[in-house]
Amino acid sequence: MNGIRLTAGSPRERSSSTKGFLAATAMVLGCLSCSIAPGDEPAKEPVNRLPKKQHRTSDAPFLTPQQAMAAMSIPDGFDVSLFASEPDIAEPIAFCFDDRGRIWVVENFNYRTRREHTDDPVSRIQILTDTNGDGRFDEKKTFADDLTFSSGIALGFGGVFVGSPPNLSFIPDADGDDRPDGPPQVLLDGWGINDRHETLNSFNWGPDGWLYGCHGVFTQSRVGHPGDGDEDRQFIDGGIWRYHPTRKTFEVFARGLSNPWGFDFDDHGQGFATCCVIPHLFHVVQAGVYHKQSLPHVNPHIYDDIKTIRDHTHLSAHGGARIYLADAFPQQYRNRLFMCNIHEHAVLTDILNPKGSSFIGSHGDDFLPTNDLAWVGFSIEIGPEGGVYILDWHDTDICGNTINFPNSGRIYRVMPSGAKPIDRPNLRSLSDQQLVDLQWNSNDWYVRQARVLLQSRAAVGKLDLETVRGQLTRMMDQATSTPRRLRALWALHAIGCADDAMLIKLLEHDEPHMRAWAIQLLGDRSSIHAFGPRQTAVEQVFSQEVLTKFASLAVNDPSPIVRLYLASVISRMDFRDRWPILAGLISHAEDADDANLPRMYWFALEPMVSDHAEQALSLVINGKLSKLQEFVARRMVSGDTPVAAKDSPRKQSQAEQNRLIGAVAPDFTVHAVGEGGVVRHTSFRNAAAIQTHPLDAKTPSRLTSQVQIPAEGKTTLKVGVSHHPHGDWQLRVLAGDKVLTERIVSSKTVGPNEWLDVSVDLTPLAGQTISLTLENRANDWHNEWAYWREVRVVTE
């Protein structure tokens, strides 16, 4: 079996060069068979010795797990242990804990590149058990070894939920003997796999009893139940989705983002996603539409999506997201978000500070720099003992365009130094009462696992509902903190005992988060949702009592959190019921600068504008948010019909593309734009930018203009351009057929601000009218997006 443990204070070189890194690695190789004692002067904070430079691959040598651990900058007061590695595991792509504290890991042997995989039934799920709590597995068994390409896993309800596109499947194991009771049952199909990094991933049980997951922008999926026609399927090409395990319903929860590979909830049930390429951190709410990488929004009438909450930058990309809600780490880490950064090759933390209806994500620390260019961490879990577990795919091609280190992969555990082992849990053996008691455990691992068990027992009629309901209700009434009250409420909802009477009463609770969650749960059973099929018939979802109370809260509730949840739940209402609540919400002038609220109000209103233009215009004129007046006017003159939520993005018109490009290149028109169309970014590398892409590998996208060069003075073409973090492209400037300049736009050619400023002297053409063309040409046909900050002709 695997395993050494390294502690903070190991001897470390301070060189940031690769040569220095290898020297540091060589220096510690003699100390690998045991714990390394603290050095004379340990670093006060972990030091990342790798150069902070965006890169796709490297020629770094293969480090054994022991060498890799020796190279880590371990924070003071912590130990790192090797839970598992090759040859015991290989190609790990996802993992999770079961209710007995064991790790289930998915090994994807079908992966070849981002664009290629095999369909052979060779991927597998293994179960790893640490019997003595020392942070290293010592028992292993194989649960399944005949899977195809698999990317996500969750446990519960008598089996295993597995993402294997095109399917989300369930492998039953009702008796818990770690052997499938039968073949996988397909729950949902239609999941795409255009990009193997951007299909369904990062499964996580939400506090409301739904299974949540992520989906990337460069894969297009039309998800439904087996046999569903296209009209019953839901389109997703980026965002967060959820599936209810007992109702068997699927919903797109939020849209946008990039390639999110991590989603988690804090102790108030607020959702947070980590992303690649675009800014890395988002506060995600139901029905939200978020900053989207490269591609236009499915609905072209979004106008202003919700932006990142981070106030700092890292290299992209990020993977994994777990908010630390356990009790083993020092108190300063509770409620911090832990995530991996595959370009900085480190585990980072962010601090989530509430602001208005949202948060500001501030940098916590570089918690664990690995100093290993082949470390590719993209999933994190918190264990029953409070340890942080980190999955490392392990390869020098960190963007997955090839496999340089086949059959490798590691799982590490981080724990405070000197932590004592715990007894291995077995929650499924506990009584209903004991599972209820765990809702107040200081480690949220027990809270979540117990809630899933209570929900699954209720689903099959093996729960004493009346007794458990009484116990949870008393817990909610007696709790001395909001997180504990919410835990009791979520458990009541999961077992089907949070009825309308209880939730209506909670709308008057003193605590905003209790009122907010009462709102969300009252809407949870509605079959209407923001991104489902457009309404064709009236459905009475909410009672008149609930609607009246919602309208009153919209006007009178002082909390932006409550108003956010009202804006969210509106998306689950029939159109006719939305107007009074929206009228109350948009009466709050103080919401004008909130990160979420004006946008969420618009997302709820927009579907109604085309059929109810006069009513929508009257609504916003009488409101206090001028942005909504602008949006309604734009929507009214667009002439477009309502967007069906299941539709893929519509094709842009030439006029629309020219309007967009004109924001940075006045008097230019754009032609032959390929993947994603012309996209406006309000902030790309700290500047407003317009994005284009070649039509294909041989046909460049072109910006063209007829320009008259004055006979006098110096005339210069000034261009500011950038590139996709994982790609490059060729800029070519022509006057007629004459090439004036050619430049590669890449991480190697841009300046410190990640922009390339190009000046082309047009003075030799003085007195002429020229056809000026700027080409976005493919270089190696890999992420060839061009980002244009400015294109202008200046005469001085």
Half-sphere exposure of 368 (CA within 13 A, CB side): 32
Quote the strand ranges of 423-464, DSSP E: none
The pLDDT tens digits of the residues spanning 52-101 come to 777 778 889 999 999 999 999 999 999 999 999 999 999 999 999 999 99
For residue 342, pLDDT beyond 90: yes
Query: What pLDDT score was predicted for residue 652?
Result: 86
> At 740, which helix (H) or strand (E)?
strand 738-745
Residue 641: pLDDT band (50, 70, 90) is low
The pLDDT tens digits of the residues spanning 575-600 come to 999 999 999 999 999 999 999 999 99
For residue 13, pLDDT beyond 80: no
Q: Which residues are CB-contacts of 211 (< 8 A; sequence separation ≥ 6)?
A: 154, 156, 161, 203, 204, 205, 242, 243, 244, 245
For residue 3, pLDDT beyond 90: no
> Do 490 and 503 share a structural domain?
no
For residue 536, pLDDT beyond 60: no
Query: What pLDDT score was predicted for residue 753?
Result: 82
The pLDDT tens digits of the residues spanning 595-612 come to 999 999 999 999 999 999
Query: What pLDDT score was predicted for residue 725?
Result: 76
Question: Would residue 235 count as lying in a domain?
Answer: no
Question: Would residue 441 count as lying in a domain?
Answer: yes
Say if CB 567 and CB 600 are below 8 A apart: yes
Say if CB 3 and CB 136 are below 8 A apart: yes
> Do 645 and 534 share a structural domain?
yes
Query: What pLDDT score was predicted for residue 399?
Result: 83
Say if CB 383 and CB 62 are below 8 A apart: no
Q: Within its chain, how far is the Cα of 440 from the centroid?
A: 28
The total domain count for the chain is 4
For residue 161, pLDDT beyond 90: yes
For residue 16, pLDDT beyond 90: no
Amino acid at 530: A
pTM of the model: 0.85
> Do 487 and 523 share a structural domain?
no
> Do 679 and 622 share a structural domain?
no
For residue 319, pLDDT beyond 50: yes
Phi, psi of 131 (to 5 degrees): -75, -25
Select from 219, 184, 185 the least CA-distant residue to 200.
219
Report the distance separating Cα 527 and Cα 571, nearest Å: 11
> At 19, which helix (H) or strand (E)?
helix 18-28
Mean pLDDT of 293-300: 89
Question: Would residue 343 count as lying in a domain?
Answer: yes
* Per-residue CA distances from 147 to 143, 223, 245, 794 (Å): 11, 20, 21, 61
Query: What pLDDT score was predicted for residue 52?
Result: 78
Among residues 462, 497, 532, the one where a domain terminates is 497
Say if CB 783 and CB 692 are below 8 A apart: no
Question: Would residue 101 count as lying in a domain?
Answer: no
Query: What pLDDT score was predicted for residue 362?
Result: 98
Query: What pLDDT score was predicted for residue 134?
Result: 95
Torsion of CA 435, 441, 443, 447, to 10 degrees: 30
The pLDDT tens digits of the residues spanning 211-230 come to 999 999 999 999 999 999 99
Which range marks the domain in which residue 467 is found? Answer: 429-497
Say if CB 309 and CB 281 are below 8 A apart: yes
Question: Would residue 407 count as lying in a domain?
Answer: yes
Mean pLDDT of 247-271: 97
Question: Would residue 297 count as lying in a domain?
Answer: no
Q: What is the largest CA-CA distance in the chain?
A: 91
Please tell me the least confidently modeled range out of 111-115, 143-147, 409-413.
111-115
For residue 739, pLDDT beyond 50: yes
Place of tokens 């200081």: 442
Q: Is 333 helix (H, G, I), strand (E, B) or coil?
A: helix
End-to-end CA distance of the chain: 72
Report the distance separating Cα 658 and Cα 611, nearest Å: 28
For residue 1, pLDDT beyond 70: no
Mean pLDDT of 415-421: 96
> Do 779 and 676 share a structural domain?
yes
Q: Which residues are CB-contacts of 625 (< 8 A; sequence separation ≥ 6)?
A: 586, 588, 589, 591, 592, 598, 601
CA triplet 699, 705, 709: central angle to 5 degrees? 130
Mean pLDDT of 539-543: 79
CATH number at residue 603: 1.25.10
> Do 645 and 511 share a structural domain?
yes
Query: What pLDDT score was predicted for residue 647?
Result: 53
For residue 296, pLDDT beyond 80: yes
Residue 684: pLDDT band (50, 70, 90) is confident
Query: What pLDDT score was predicted for residue 43?
Result: 41
> Do 503 and 643 share a structural domain?
yes
> Do 613 and 672 share a structural domain?
no
Among residues 358, 392, 419, the one where a domain terminates is 419
DSSP state of 9: T
For residue 687, pLDDT beyond 90: no
Report the distance separating Cα 321 and Cα 260, nearest Å: 10
Query: What pLDDT score was predicted for residue 751?
Result: 87
Question: Would residue 682 count as lying in a domain?
Answer: yes
Question: Would residue 539 count as lying in a domain?
Answer: yes
> Do 490 and 397 share a structural domain?
no
> Do 615 and 702 share a structural domain?
no
Query: What pLDDT score was predicted for residue 659?
Result: 94
Range 165-204 burial, b when 16+ CB lie within 10 A, else e? bbbbbbbebeeeeeebeeebeebbbbbbbbbbbbbbbbbb
Q: Is 606 helix (H, G, I), strand (E, B) or coil?
A: helix
Residue 761: pLDDT band (50, 70, 90) is very high
Q: What is the rounded average pLDDT for all residues in the chain?
A: 91
Amino acid at 756: L
For residue 12, pLDDT beyond 70: no
Query: What pLDDT score was predicted for residue 103?
Result: 98
The pLDDT tens digits of the residues spanning 439-479 come to 999 999 999 999 999 999 999 999 999 999 999 999 999 99
Residue 660: pLDDT band (50, 70, 90) is very high
Among residues 497, 518, 533, the one where a domain terminates is 497
Select from 272, 280, 240, 277 the least CA-distant residue to 256.
240
Query: What pLDDT score was predicted for residue 142?
Result: 98
For residue 527, pLDDT beyond 50: yes
Query: What pLDDT score was predicted for residue 51?
Result: 82
CATH number at residue 673: 2.60.120.200
What length does the chain have? 796
> Do 514 and 639 share a structural domain?
yes
Residue 646: pLDDT band (50, 70, 90) is very low
> Do 504 and 492 share a structural domain?
no
